[in-house]
Amino acid sequence: MDVPKHTIVLMQPSQNRASRTFMDYESVSQAIDGICGLYERKLKELNPAILNITYDVSDLYNFIDGLTDLSALVYSPNAQAYVPYDREWIKQRTFQHLKRMAG
């Protein structure tokens, strides 16, 4: 279980600068759940007739890569500051998170 570290996800879904938004979470795990939830809501929106939608990690990676911008700021108690992480780090953490949930 990861130590709760306040995490802010910065996202720009489209080229439109007005689509920039952020979400904040109590931990990295919750932030990853939030990103997975965004993808799941998008799938439900695109496939309203399907009750149980399944996807694999490559589908989720394609969604993440399709966002104009995505990064995370994770609070580091040692530095007493937020440390920035990029899209690739988010994808690695997502894979670890999904593996833990499946295991």
Tens of pLDDT, residues 23-35: 999 999 999 999 9
The C-alpha atoms of residue 58 and residue 91 are separated, in whole angstroms, by 10
Tens of pLDDT, residues 66-90: 999 999 999 999 999 999 999 999 9
The one-letter amino acid at 44: K
Alpha helices, H only, the chain: 28-46, 57-66, 87-102
**Domains of the chain by start residue, with CATH:** 7-102 (3.30.2260.10)
pTM over 0.85: yes
Tens of pLDDT, residues 43-55: 999 999 988 888 8
